[in-house]
Amino acid sequence: MVAMKIILHIWRQDGPETKGAFKTYQLDGVSPHMSFLEMLDVLNEKLISNNEEPVVFEHDCREGICGCCGLMINGQAHGPDHETTACQLHMRKFKEGDHIWIEPWRAGAFPVIRDLMVDRSALDRIMQAGGYVSVNTGNAPEANTTIIPKQNADDSFDAATCIGCGACVAACKNASAMLFVSAKVSQFALLPQGQPERSTRVENMLNQMDKEGFGGCTNTNECEAACPAGISVENIARLNREFIAATLTSKK
């Protein structure tokens, strides 16, 4: 496959209180084998050599595990590939002369830090509100002493694969965090270890979600389509059931 020329339209913004705008760059000699972030690295090397400010973007593992590399690429969270993070997206998905528009996550709860990097600490605060098991369970029990139905175990494991990247929020027209919260609630609601705090967990996490300014679920399922981990919207239905049950038994 031959190296290609692409046109990049990248959102540049100095900070949360400043006004941002798109800036256009031409990049030649882009290998189709590059990852999307490697392509941005090449752009930054070019900018630095020209004494220009490099583009700020977030990354860590570059293996599709950590969820740091959140970008809107041509209007799609993480780009055009299905169930793929931006760091695992490759330039072979684009062609010679393509115009690529790159933006940060767009959500009131995710203020821009600079350029393509946003503050996603709102998701951390939702987790701190209840996304854990605080019961002291002692040493790890023998695997077969606690019987868990296979379907429950499978569904819990699937929910636990959420990497907290925020793509579901960025893809939703209401900037809802319902898919993220539902995955974290479902992970524990399906297992025995999560039962003691089951009611308080769902109430506290949803209350924190509202405090952070996330919107309500739109029921358009765009969150599931954008999720690199393939988290199902069935978890949102479970979250709603958990919340209704919690409010009916709440002692507050």
Whether residue 237 lies inside any domain: the answer is: yes
Q: What is the pTM of this model?
A: 0.93
Q: 11 lies in which domain range?
A: 4-113
> Is residue 107 domain-resident?
yes
CATH number for the domain that contains residue 84: 3.10.20.30
Mean pLDDT of the chain, nearest integer: 94
With a cut of 80, say whether residue 67 has pLDDT above it. yes
CATH number, position 211: 1.10.1060.10
pLDDT in tens, 138-181: 777 776 777 889 999 999 999 999 999 999 999 999 999 999 99
How many separate domains does the chain show?
Answer: 2
162 and 75 share one domain: no
Domain check: are 55 and 19 in the same one?
yes
Let me know if residue 30 belongs to a domain: yes
Question: 104 and 193: one domain?
Answer: no
Cα–Cα distance list, 4 to 9, 27, 80, 134, 168 (Å): 16, 8, 18, 53, 31
Q: 47 and 102, same structural domain?
A: yes
Residue whose C-alpha is closest to residue 245's, from 180, 210, 200, 209: 200
DSSP reduced 3-state for 11: strand
Please check whether residue 205 is in contact with residue 184, taking contact to mean a CB–CB distance below 8 angstroms: yes
